[in-house]
Structures are given as C-alpha cells and as structure tokens.
C-alpha cells in the first residue's frame, strides 16, 4: 500500500474541508432549525468543527460582500437556520470515485444471495446510476456465487427467530452431525454465505458455511441464543487460528505454494537459503508453519497435496501420513517399494 506523505495529507484534509463547506450550506438549508450536534453527528464532524465551518461561511458570499450578500444564518439556542445561501443551494454533483463507491456497494448488495428487499436495492441502484450519469465510466462488474435458496431459508429463520435443526458437514473432522442451533445473523464473506448461530451442542457461537448445511428443519421453539455473547469479527477472515492449536510445519514445493494464500500461516520462508533456482521458482521449496484445528484435517491436507509436500513436524503427523499411505497401497495390493538408496 502506498503511504501518503504528510504534506499531501495536510492538503487533503484542507480539500476535504472545502468540500464539507460547500456541502454544509445546502444540508442546513434542507433542515431549518436543526440542532448543531445532530448535524455534526450526521456529517461525521465534531460540534466544534461544525461551528468553525459556520464561522468561516459567515464571511463568504456574493461579490459586493456587503451585509445582504454574505451567507447568513440564524441561531436559536443550539439550533441553526440558513437565512441566505448566496447561491450554493445545491450540493456539488458526485465525483467519479463517490459514484463508483456507492454504485459498486449497491451492486454488491443486489448480488448478495438471499437478500431480502432486493427490489428496493435495485430501485436505489437505478436512481444513483441515473444521477451519476456516465461518471462511473469504469466498468465494474459484480457476480456472487449461487446458493441463494439456502440463504433465503436461513435469512427467514433469522427473521422468524426460530431455532433450527441442521445436518452440517464439518470439514475439520470430516463428519456430518445433527445439531440444534439458534440463528443470530447471516453473513457473506469472500463470496461465501455463513450463518452465525449459537450451537447448543458446542454451547458456543459458531459460523456455519451455508453450502455445508446439508439439511435444515425449522423448529417450533423460538431461538434463544444467550445474551451478551461475542460474535465473530469476520473482517480479517473466517478462520482465526488461536495459539493453543497445534502448529504444523511443512516443506512445500511450488505447486502447493497456494496454501499460503488460502490458509493463515504463521511463517513462510525459503527452505534452502541461498540455493539457486530456476527463473520461475522451479525446484524451490518453502517451510510453511500454520496452526490447524485438528491433526486429522492436517493429515488429509498433506495427503491431498501429494508428493509436493513433506511433513517437517510434528512427528506424529508424519507418522499418520505414512500409515495411511502404507495401508492404502496394501489395499491395492501394491508392495511398498523401498526408496532408492544410491
């Protein structure tokens, strides 16, 4: 990410102030007698900033700059009314970035599966696009994955505040379980839908991936998630490894290097310091350390990645992988050949 030098940052806030001032007059004009505190909160500035802005506007106006030309306002206690606007009675049109930010976010909402009131959002989008005209210019397309029906059902359950009985596939343990949950909210993160709910079996808040809920029955009884529970902060991702989980270290070739992009890793470093490799990283290997919720899951991960990956630690993971391979080859009646020892 680029870092804005301090000088530029200073002029940025000044430019923001000019934009704010030009906006403030029509804002107040549309709301005669609004409380200063309410306006400040609405516009995201402090009371003091707003009062300073008003003081500055008070000395601005039409050429002539006499009493009848300057922007004027009346104060009544903590309420303010613009009595003369000097011609800035409308906000400035949207900039391309503003139009883009609003339009893209609305398209995200429209595309979010299971969204209620989609027609409202679509109408809002059409009106904003209309006002933005050809400003947006940059084609930005948004397409979210399907499974809208499942999300519809989940959203309705949240809305009706009913408990659910679900059949859920947990990839960590590779098992399907039935559980009763009290739905809290539906989330979309990274294109996947999740139901956050109180799990009565685990007696904890859990995130359930919508596409792994294999069956769902809405129960008669109301949802009763305990109050004062901590919801997940999903802004940095769904799986947040905690330091008490087992740490595994793998030696990873380039074909499996994607795991460092897909799973949170604690450490990624070249396995052989100073070794020359091909221009495209051929023959290179990395040491990757990551926390895993379950060693059996790690075993499936390593087996799935194949010969491109070797377990460095812990030894019991390496042992489990070897056991599985030996047993599987025995089932195919293939003798396990010794490694070449030359």
Partner 1 sequence: MSRTRTERLVNLVICLLSTRRFLTAAQIAATVPGYEHDPDDARQHEAFQRKFERDKAELRALGVPLEVGTASAFDTEPGYRIAPREYALPDIPLQPDEAAAVGIAARLWQHAGLAAAASSGLAKLRAAGIDVDPQATLEVEPVVTVDPAFAPLAAATRERRTVTFDYRVPVQDAPTRRRLQPWGVVCWRGRWYVVGHDLDRDATRCFRLSRIVGPVKAVGRAGTYLPPDDVDLISQVARWSGPTEKRGRATVLTRPGRAVGLRRWAKTVDRGPDGDRLVLPYACPEALAGSLVRYGADVLVLEPPEVRDAVIQRLKEIAVRQQPAGALP
Q: Which of residues 141-200 bind partner 1 (CB under 8 A)?
A: 141-145, 151, 155, 158-159, 169, 171, 174-176, 185-193
- Closer CB to partner 1, 100 or 295, in the complex: 100
Residue 293 binds partner 1, judged by CB under 8 A: no
Query: Are 176 and 168 spatial neighbours (Cβ–Cβ below 8 Å)?
Result: yes
d(CA 239, CA 244): 14
DSSP character string of 293-305: S-HHHHHHHHHHH
Query: Are 85 and 107 spatial neighbours (Cβ–Cβ below 8 Å)?
Result: no
> What SS3 class is residue 57?
helix
Residue 341 binds partner 1, judged by CB under 8 A: yes
d(CA 232, CA 205): 8
Least Å distance, CB 244 to partner 1, is: 26
Residue 57 binds partner 1, judged by CB under 8 A: yes
Give the residues across from 84 on adjacent strands.
Answer: 72
Residue 250 binds partner 1, judged by CB under 8 A: no
Least Å distance, CB 245 to partner 1, is: 20
Residue from 79, 165, 179, 254 touching partner 1 (CB under 8 A): that is: 254
- Closer CB to partner 1, 114 or 208, in the complex: 114
Residue 7 binds partner 1, judged by CB under 8 A: no
DSSP character string of 163-230: EEEEEEEETTTTEEEEEEEEEEEEEEETTEEEEEEEETTTTEEEEEEGGGEEEEEEEEEEP-PPSS-P
Residue 123 binds partner 1, judged by CB under 8 A: yes
What is the x/- site pattern for partner 1, positions 64-103, by CB under 8 A? -x--------------------xxx-xxxxxxxxxxxxx-
- Closer CB to partner 1, 243 or 340, in the complex: 340
Query: Are 194 and 187 spatial neighbours (Cβ–Cβ below 8 Å)?
Result: yes
Least Å distance, CB 128 to partner 1, is: 6
d(CA 68, CA 244): 71
Residue 275 binds partner 1, judged by CB under 8 A: no
Least Å distance, CB 78 to partner 1, is: 19
Residue 298 binds partner 1, judged by CB under 8 A: no
């Amino acid at each position: 990410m680029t870092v804005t030098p301090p000088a530029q940052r200073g002029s940025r806030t000044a430019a923001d102030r000019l934009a704010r001032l030009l906006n403030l007059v029509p804002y107040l004009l549309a709301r005669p007698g609004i409380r200063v505190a309410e306006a400040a909160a609405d516009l995201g500035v402090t009371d003091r900033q707003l009062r300073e802005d008003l003081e500055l506007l008070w000395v601005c106006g039409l050429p002539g700059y006499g009493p009848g030309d300057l922007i004027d306002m009346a104060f009544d206690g903590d309420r303010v009314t613009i009595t003369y606007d000097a011609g800035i009675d409308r906000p400035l049109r949207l900039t391309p970035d503003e139009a883009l930010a609003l339009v893209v976010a609305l398209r995200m909402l429209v595309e979010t599966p299971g969204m209620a009131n989609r027609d409202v959002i679509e109408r809002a989008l059409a009106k904003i696009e209309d006002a933005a005209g050809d400003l947006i210019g940059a084609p930005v397309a948004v397409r979210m994955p399907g499974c809208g029906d499942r999300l519809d059902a989940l959203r309705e359950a949240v809305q009706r505040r009913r408990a659910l009985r679900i059949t859920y596939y947990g990839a960590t343990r590779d098992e399907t379980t039935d559980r009763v949950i009290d739905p809290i909210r539906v989330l979309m993160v990274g294109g996947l839908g999740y139901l956050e709910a109180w799990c009565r079996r685990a007696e904890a808040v859990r995130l359930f991936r919508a596409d792994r809920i294999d069956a769902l029955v809405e129960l008669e009884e109301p949802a009763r998630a305990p109050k004062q529970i901590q919801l997940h902060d999903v802004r940095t991702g769904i799986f947040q490894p905690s330091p008490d989980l087992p740490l595994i270290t793998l030696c990873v070739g380039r074909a499996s290097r994607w795991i460092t992009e897909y799973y949170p890793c604690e450490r990624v470093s070249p396995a052989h310091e100073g070794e020359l490799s091909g221009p495209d990283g051929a023959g290179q290997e990395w040491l990757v350390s990551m926390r895993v919720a379950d060693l059996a899951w790690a075993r499936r991960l390593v087996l799935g990645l194949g010969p491109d990956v070797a377990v460095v630690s812990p030894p019991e993971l390496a042992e489990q992988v070897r056991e599985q391979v030996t047993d599987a080859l025995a089932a195919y009646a293939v003798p396990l050949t010794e490694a070449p020892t030359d």
